[in-house]
Structure 1
Amino acid sequence: MIDFHAHLDLYPDPHTVARECVIRDLYVLSVTTTPSAWSGTAALTRDAPRIRTALGLHPQIAHERKGELPLFERLLPQVRYVGEIGLDGGPEFRRYLPDQEHVFSRVLSLCARAGGRVMTIHSRRAATQVLDALATEPDAGVAILHWFSGTHRELARAVDQGCWFSIGPAMLAGDKGRALAAKMPRDRVLTETDGPFVQVDGRAAWPWDADRAVKALSQIWSEPISTVQGQLLRNLRHLTSHGTGAV
């Protein structure tokens, strides 16, 4: 099972969640929202070879944490995964877009200079702007659009630009998300939860709730669950077989 976008450090008891992920043999990408959170979050998973920690600077707090860009630059050589990064065009964050764009542009530039990274990217109500930024830094690495919610035209452009997608139970609970998922290249899809921000059955999603996305994909793709699981594992291995990351 794969959860390619979870905030392990933001659970009330992150050590217990990390241990449970190990027991369940999950592949997890543990994302961070600030560079200053990376070291402590990475320490959660020292004995968990299938859990990797990404270095992030979340767009929703970019205006508050842009001063951590020098720290991001210092830590980048230590990581193969970057996230959560991106842009957020929601009404409550739109006034901070200049700061978001500055941070995102700088992060992409640093990743390109470092030889590319696997990046998990937030693009809520800003898919076109995210794709524009990625087009200006083609050497930044592999872009995985987390919980993509753009238009079908933006999806087609993202596919043309070589983007990947991580999709979870919350996205697949609605008709729009399912319709988008149906058009995504099956060999560029991974599952996620975005826990603990996402709610499942009235509680915060656990990383192992990614199996709900597998079941939904089984319906969307009209394939047995075992076939979906096999495809997702092949996708993960392909993604991480390059220099920008490793399982």
Structure 2
Amino acid sequence: MLFDAHTHVASGVPGNLCAVRREDWERVLEVAGMVPFIGVHPWHAAGVDAARLAEDLTDYLERFPQAQVGECGLDGSPKYRASLPQQERVLDIQLDAAWRHGRCVHLHGSQAWGRLIDRLRERARRKALPPFLLHAWNGSPELATEAMKLGGRFSAGVRELRSPKAAARLCGIPAELLAAESDDDPPSLPEAVRLLQELAVK
């Protein structure tokens, strides 16, 4: 049976259904047969009321024990680089909430994987790191190794798996730590699964 490790679209396939902004939380919580993730994506971190986010996350995680945290993280691409300090504050709130409530976190790290893993490493030193999955993984093998040392898991979609660098990036990740995702393109999931299987036998 197909399972979508990270998606934003309820397509009828079981999987992890992730919010990207506060307004999405009720929607993902209402979908049967999927694991709901509530959070604020780094693209929407600018202008977030940090105190309100912390209160809302605590409230929802206490009321909905099935809810996990995400999608959250850091984005260092040119469009979002200026908001990285705010992204970090918003990320820390979500990691704190996930740790306190024993929930998993789905993390975005586009063009900021090293910065994100440094932040996770610092939390591990404080023994305050929740379980986490790095979605749309396209980081280096060295960063993958660092993330695995911290207990991380990974997911990748067609975009990442079709990259000429996919084999080099993913070959050191054990199959049990790497899953296929569709992100925002549900029809792509079977192809992602196929590409992942092909990589596994190389």
Q: TM-score range by the shorter chain?
A: 0.7 to 0.9
Q: What are the superposed Cα offsets for residues 218-238 of structure 1, whole Å, 9 maximum, x if unpaired?
A: 211118xxxxxxxxxxxxxxx
- Give the alignment's Cα RMSD to 1 decimal: 1.8
Q: Secondary structure at the match of 1:130?
A: helix
Amino acid at match of 2:47: E
Q: How far apart, in 1, do the equivalents of 2:103 and 2:28 lie?
A: 19
The equivalent residue for 2:48 is 65
**Identical amino acids, percent of aligned pairs:** 26
Residue 41 (structure 1) shift: 2.8
Q: CA deviation at 1:175?
A: 1.3
Gaps of 5+ in 2: none
Amino acid at match of 2:28: T
Give the TM-score normalised by structure 2. 0.88
- 1:215 deviation in Å? 0.9
CA contact (8 A) 2:141 2:170 kept: no
Using a 3 Å threshold, how does the CA distance of structure 1 residues 177 and 66 change in structure 2: closer, same or farther? farther
The 5 A counterparts of 1:9-158 are 18=10, 20-21=11-12, 26-43=13-30, 45=31, 48-49=32-33, 51-67=34-50, 68-69=52-53, 70-77=55-62, 78=64, 79-114=66-101, 116-138=102-124, 139-158=128-147
Q: Which runs of 4+ in 1 moved over 6 A?
A: none
Query: Equivalents in 2 of 1:110, 1:218: separation in Å?
Result: 35
Unpaired runs of at least 5, structure 1:
9-17, 196-204, 224-247
Instruction: Name the TM-score, length of structure 1 as normaliser.
Output: 0.73
Contact 2:48/2:90 (8 A) holds in 1: no
The total of aligned residue pairs comes to: 194
